[in-house]
Amino acid sequence: MDDKLREKLFAQGRLAREAARKLGLMPAEAKNKALLAMAAAVEEQERDILAANQIDMENARGKGMSGALLDRLLLNSQRVKGMANALREVAILPDPVGEVVRMWTRPNGLQIGQIRVPLGVVGMIYEARPNVTVDAAALCLKTGNAVILRGGSEALQSNLAIIKALGQAVAGSKLPEGSFQLIETAEREAITIMFEMRDFLDVLIPRGGAGLIQAVVNNSRVPVIETGVGNCHIFIDESANPQMAEEIVVNAKTQRPGVCNAVETLLVHKREAEKILPGLGRRLVELGVEIRGCRLTQELLPEAKPATEEDWETEYLALVLAVKVVESLEEALNHISRYGTKHSEAIVTSDYQRARRFLQEVDAAAVYVNASTRFTDGGEYGLGAEIGISTQKLHARGPMGLETLTSIKYIVYGDGQIRR
Amino acid sequence: MDDKLREKLFAQGRLAREAARKLGLMPAEAKNKALLAMAAAVEEQERDILAANQIDMENARGKGMSGALLDRLLLNSQRVKGMANALREVAILPDPVGEVVRMWTRPNGLQIGQIRVPLGVVGMIYEARPNVTVDAAALCLKTGNAVILRGGSEALQSNLAIIKALGQAVAGSKLPEGSFQLIETAEREAITIMFEMRDFLDVLIPRGGAGLIQAVVNNSRVPVIETGVGNCHIFIDESANPQMAEEIVVNAKTQRPGVCNAVETLLVHKREAEKILPGLGRRLVELGVEIRGCRLTQELLPEAKPATEEDWETEYLALVLAVKVVESLEEALNHISRYGTKHSEAIVTSDYQRARRFLQEVDAAAVYVNASTRFTDGGEYGLGAEIGISTQKLHARGPMGLETLTSIKYIVYGDGQIRR
């Protein structure tokens, strides 16, 4: 263990704890004012931010980083504007802190209520995209949480420039020092130290690829909210409207294939397969999708390559689709139970009972009837903003809006009651 | 690692997973019927259960176990009746599973709802009290969760007899095999293996002393809900009604000193101290309470021993009370923030602003104005039953009723919507 780094991070943790105590009591007005000042600062310091991003981009190219990763890392004038707008959008959302979720009176006269409070200090571990720095700072500030940010080492210069702008925007304001802090090192050991910071972090939220998320889940002593991995399925039932089924599958696979709510495996009822697969398959192939199918799929669609066991397990995040013809809804449910990652699952059907059964029996964060899996998103759900998509069951499940960054406390009004 | 034990526990985990899939779909009627059958079986098999408990008691006495622990372990006819009644009480509670928490319609026509679902498989680790076996089995069954129970090794014979009775009650019913399972060994290593069962357990809930809870929190890879430790304070403000303050303190300290919501430190405003402390102190001493006080407390109350730094940190769980005279509400808030365990905190006051400030600023699961801290309890709050009291902020905080054993899933009704 690097004791010096550890001491530094623990000092950041102590500062965050102190800040959180004050932040939790800050009225919405003051938080919103800070968010708007931060938005202005990001725009004003665009040149510095882009110059810092240029350094990150050159280093990344020098290390031979792939095109997709480079694109995530890249900032330009439009993206900086997008970050500023994200801050403004969070500013106008309602503040969940202080909401009395419910309140009731007991027979002895005690009035008992649950009031929404911040979690305290949030730790975020993420990868190349610098806009996560802004989003996380905004969502945590809005909910009265302090946040310690650990972005990807490849984005360090960009993140330093962003945090500098955000920090200058609120210097001299009522926002306590340490409300948002970046871990200012590229050393990987910083993550391992964060895992141990149970005294300073109330929750750790990893955002990124499966490798990062698993490393956090398996090693953190701080409670984690698991996000993101989505091996999502669409099941076309025998009663499906073929046109609707085709549009939904094409949308879920091709509209944005690199994200967690894109479909990865298509299950087709055998009575529907002959009618649907040839046309749908051709259209997907024309859109550049590689099909990997079971034996029956291959018979109906000569372009299909054979699917292996591995295909059923894979989140491609690319223009690849595994296709399996199934005997029944039962088989589809079993396949999803076995290979799904409990993210987003959809059925296309016109049958009432089977729609109902699918909704009841599929165990996932989001279960759809006759809609694209791509809708699993805080904005699309109307939650206003999103810190990630939880695939676990504790605390938060599905798209995580502002409320998921809060807890409750019981407040009890008495008149001298004692327990008998 | 004991590979054989590990294999056995993993097999129990797999069985629980399978059971959970079916249990989650079981209607309330079937679950309630099972709970009533289990209640009858516990009463019918009282003789076997008491005989098994007799063996545990003899072993415990042989090992020199203390009186308080022996009392926790002890079963008698009345306590067996109590276990049966607990099962019946859970049977008549409303089933939270299937409740649609909210549902709304998006501009594109998608109807999006959150429906309450079971967590899946719950792991319980607890100590000597055999009634926890019944309580946990009942609450988990009611909420459609499978449960794996690991009671204290000193209660193994009692727990085996109880689980045998519960199991016979539901044999041949629709309840899937493995809905509730006991880890049938006294080996401590079983706990370590549970920590690794992330694939089979959705949550681990430790109930017991601080040592057990810390061991689980620090070592489990399965998400944990931290329960229980309560270093609770009462602050008597300068405007307090002296009579009310006295009754509340006496109740919170002496009504049941061995539990987590009993008060451990009394803070008294200096302007109130002279008026209140002598009489209150004498009454507490007469009730057998040992007072450990600050210098001022000792001046006002000659019976008080001097308090050390350690006293402010200690959850006595006994007839001992630390007492400190403070200069102001501010000092009381700072003391609570520094030494409190975020369990239950109370102010006695007649001042509106200070009541409000205390409720807002104290960060604890339950914050009281003019009531005893002893009310922090699922039954007292009207939650019907309680699996424990959470002192963490994620997922559940305060007394954990049936709802805290559930998660939600998003259900989405569409008509062919795709994302643009």
Which tens digits make up the pLDDT trace of B277-306?
999 999 999 999 999 999 999 999 999 999
| Alpha carbon of residue B336 to chain centroid | 21
Please state the rounded mean pLDDT for residues A83-111: 96
Beta-strand runs (E) in B155-206: 180-182, 203-206
Residue to test with chain B: of A112, A218, A248, A287, most B Cβ within 10 A: A112
Say which of B361, B393, B414 has its CB closest to residue A371.
Answer: B414
CA distance A222 to B218: 9
Q: Chain B partners of A390 at a C-beta cutoff of 8 Å?
A: none
Token reading at A318:
């690319």
CA distance B388 to B343: 12
Nearest to B314, CA basis, from B262, B270, B247, B362: B262
Q: Chain B partners of A372 at a C-beta cutoff of 8 Å?
A: 417-419
For residue A121, list its beta bridge partners.
A146
3-class DSSP assignment, residue A172: coil
From A54's Cα to the closest Cα of chain B, the distance in A is 32
Q: Chain A partners of B203 at a C-beta cutoff of 8 Å?
A: 393-394
CA distance B194 to A50: 49
Q: Are B394 and A415 a contacting pair at CB < 8 A? A: no
Do B414 and B106 touch, CB atoms closer than 8 A?
Answer: no
Write out pLDDT tens, residues A175-200.
999 999 999 998 999 999 999 999 99
Q: Chain A partners of B380 at a C-beta cutoff of 8 Å?
A: 106, 419
Write out pLDDT tens, residues B94-120.
999 999 999 999 999 999 999 999 999
* Total residues found in chain B within this entry: 420
Do A332 and A267 touch, CB atoms closer than 8 A?
Answer: yes
Nearest to B412, CA basis, from A244, A38, A355, A291: A355
Longest dimension (CA), chain B: 79
In terms of Cβ atoms closer than 10 Å to its own Cβ (0-12, 13-18, 19+), residue A338 is exposed
Say which of A106, A218, A414 has its CB closest to residue B382.
Answer: A106
pLDDT reading at A217 higher than 80: yes
From B334's Cα to the closest Cα of chain A, the distance in A is 11
CA distance A17 to B7: 42
- Of all residues in chain B, the percent with pLDDT exceeding 90 is 90
Do A189 and A176 touch, CB atoms closer than 8 A?
Answer: no
Position B297 scores a pLDDT of 97
Instruction: Examine domains A3-228+395-413 and A232-377 and report if their fold is the same.
Output: no
Task: Please tell me which residue of chain B has the smallest CA distance to A410.
Answer: B366
The CATH superfamily label for domain A3-228+395-413 reads: Aldehyde Dehydrogenase; Chain A, domain 1 (3.40.605.10)
Would you say domain B232-375 falls under CATH 3.40.309.10? yes
Q: Are A397 and B413 a contacting pair at CB < 8 A? A: no
DSSP per-residue string spanning B262-282: SEEEEEEEHHHHHHHHHHHHH
Give chain A's end-to-end CA distance (angstroms, integer).
53
Q: For residue A385, what pLDDT band results from cuts at 50, 70 and 90?
A: confident
Domain with residues A232-377, CATH architecture: 3-Layer(aba) Sandwich (3.40)
From A367's Cα to the closest Cα of chain B, the distance in A is 5
Q: Are A369 and B412 a contacting pair at CB < 8 A? A: yes
CA-derived radius of gyration, chain B: 24
Give chain B's end-to-end CA distance (angstroms, integer).
53
Q: Are B370 and A417 a contacting pair at CB < 8 A? A: yes
Q: Chain B partners of A363 at a C-beta cutoff of 8 Å?
A: 21, 24, 117, 120, 409
Q: Chain A partners of B201 at a C-beta cutoff of 8 Å?
A: none
Position B1 scores a pLDDT of 60
Position B280 scores a pLDDT of 97
Mean pLDDT value across chain A: 95
Write out pLDDT tens, residues B36-75.
999 999 999 999 999 999 999 999 999 998 888 898 899 9
Say which of B337, B364, B418 has its CB closest to residue A248.
Answer: B418
From B213's Cα to the closest Cα of chain A, the distance in A is 14
Task: Please tell me which residue of chain B has the smallest CA distance to A246.
Answer: B416
Q: Are B414 and A117 a contacting pair at CB < 8 A? A: no
Nearest to B116, CA basis, from B402, B369, B359, B312: B402
Residue to test with chain A: of B199, B373, B375, B392, most A Cβ within 10 A: B375
Do A316 and A248 touch, CB atoms closer than 8 A?
Answer: no
DSSP A95: P
Question: Residues in chain B with pLDDT < 50?
Answer: none
CA-derived radius of gyration, chain A: 24
Q: Are B371 and A21 a contacting pair at CB < 8 A? A: no
DSSP per-residue string spanning A55-92: HHHHHHHHTT--HHHHHHH---HHHHHHHHHHHHHHHH
3-class DSSP assignment, residue B55: helix
pLDDT reading at A1 higher than 70: no
CA distance A45 to B219: 45
DSSP per-residue string spanning A274-315: HHHHHHHHHHHHHTTPEEEE-HHHHHH-TTPEEP-HHHHH--
- Return the minimum-mean-pLDDT range out of A205-214, A405-414, B189-198: A205-214
Q: Chain A partners of B399 at a C-beta cutoff of 8 Å?
A: 410
- Count Cβ–Cβ pairs < 8 Å, chain A vs chain B: 193
Nearest to A24, CA basis, from A133, A125, A109, A147: A147
Domain-wise residue ranges, chain B: 3-228+395-413, 232-375
Q: Are B419 and A241 a contacting pair at CB < 8 A? A: no
pLDDT reading at A228 higher than 80: no
Token reading at B314:
């200690």
Write the CA distances from A187 to A121, A152, A183, A203, B348, integer angstroms: 22, 10, 10, 21, 50
CA distance B197 to B352: 50
ipTM over 0.85: yes
